Amino acid sequence: MKVTIDGISLDVPQGTTILQAARMIGPEVAPPTMCYYSKLKTSGGYCRTCIVKVTKGSNQNPNPIPKPVASCRTEVLDGMEVQNVTSSEVLEARKGVVEFLLINHPLDCPVCDQAGECHLQDLGYGHGAASSRYEFKRREYEMIDIGPHIKLHMNRCILCYRCVKTAEQITNGRVHGVMHRGDAAEISTYIEQALENDFSGNVIDVCPVGALTDKTYRFKQRVWFTKPMDAHRNCKTCSGQVRLWLKGEQVVRVTRAKMPGMKWSPLFAIHADLIIKKHRIGLLKVPLKFNGIRLYHKTITST
């Protein structure tokens, strides 16, 4: 199937979304995303930052789609023509979306653990305005523990549903979800339930903002002062692909490793790059020459 994005054409297999096609071309035409997570089914479509304009529907039906579409949830059709960065309308609309995402965000990056690896920060720098036009009180919530190792800071949440879908599709038994409606909607656990499932820690890694943070790492270090190192630990439950974040010789944080091109064994196909709680907690403060860890790369320079 031939698709043209911002004047660049390429052939993609059937079922590819506009976003995936744009990412194949390269980062200069790929729209930014907040709520889309490639490993999840039915993910995306909510944040509206990836909206693009379809100027030609397909060869069979060349009419343009009147409204901008979410590129992460729209599959390409043969002969489709899409405008992203070349359309001022799309850029203007995206600016609006970024503004909406930020009006109730506390903008507390200086004290936020996610700062430095926050998608919303990147998005704000790339597409946001320098100052806010919002002059009302911002939404505020109490911070809560939604599990023994997870802190929920709802003020920062952009309701991308990524943690909800991760819990639903990957862990056995989802105990948290979105409560209430509209701008009162919030992530919460079911009454007296906590996220203590083995895989539940992964919701921290999929959170694009600082809403879900790792309690073992809160306020310990700024991300840019730590060095990431990918490692492997033999594990019967998960992939065992971990990323150790080092401060000197000490492991201060453990997350899942994002290693593109890594071949997963079929046993862990669904869990892909997710890791279980044992590693998240257990690898902290262990000496680096621990037997169970096999190092892949010495260091990764940038994150």
Partner 1 sequence: MATTLLLKHIAVPGIKSLDVYRNMGGYASVEKALRTLTPNQVTEEVKKSGLRGRGGAGFPTGMKWGFLAKPEGVPRYLVCNADESEPGTFKDRYLMEHIPHALIEGMITSSYALGARKSYIYIRGEYFYVSRILQHAIDEAYAAGWLGENILGSGFSHDCYVQVGAGAYICGEETALLESLEGKRGNPRIKPPFPAVAGLWGCPTVVNNVETIAAVCPIITMGGEAYSKIGIGKSTGTKLISASGHINKPGVYEIELGLPVEEFIFSDAYCGGIRNGRKLKAVVAGGSSVPILPAELILKTAQGEPRLMSYESLAEGGFQTGTMLGSGGFIVMDDQTSIVKNLLTFARFYHHESCGQCSPCREGTGWMEKLISKFLSGTAHESDVDLLWDIQSKIEGKTICPLGEAAAWPVAAAIRHFKSEFLELARNKSYVEINHYKRLQPVS
Q: Which residues bind partner 1 (CB under 8 A)?
A: 45-48, 51, 66-68, 70, 73, 93, 96-97, 99-101, 103-104, 133-137, 158-159, 161, 177-178, 180-185
- Choose between 102 and 212: whose C-beta lies nearer to partner 1: 102
Quote the least distance from Cβ 217 to partner 1, whole Å.
28
Quote the least distance from Cβ 166 to partner 1, whole Å.
17
- Choose between 143 and 179: whose C-beta lies nearer to partner 1: 179
288: left (phi > 0), else alpha (psi -120 to 50), else beta? alpha
- Kindly state the tokens that stand for 126: 């790339």
User: Residue 97: enclosing H or E segment and its boundaries?
Assistant: helix 88-103
Say how far apart CA 31 and CA 85 lie, in whole Å.
8
- Choose between 34 and 257: whose C-beta lies nearer to partner 1: 34
Quote the least distance from Cβ 103 to partner 1, whole Å.
5
DSSP state of 276: -
Contact between 196 and 148 under an 8 Å Cβ cutoff? The reply is yes
Quote the least distance from Cβ 37 to partner 1, whole Å.
15
Quote the least distance from Cβ 46 to partner 1, whole Å.
5
Task: Spell out the alpha helix ranges (H) of the chain.
Answer: 18-25, 88-103, 119-127, 162-169, 202-206, 277-282
Cα diameter, the chain: 62
- Choose between 14 and 301: whose C-beta lies nearer to partner 1: 14
Say how many residues make up the chain. 303
Say how far apart CA 3 and CA 15 lie, in whole Å.
12
- Choose between 52 and 238: whose C-beta lies nearer to partner 1: 52
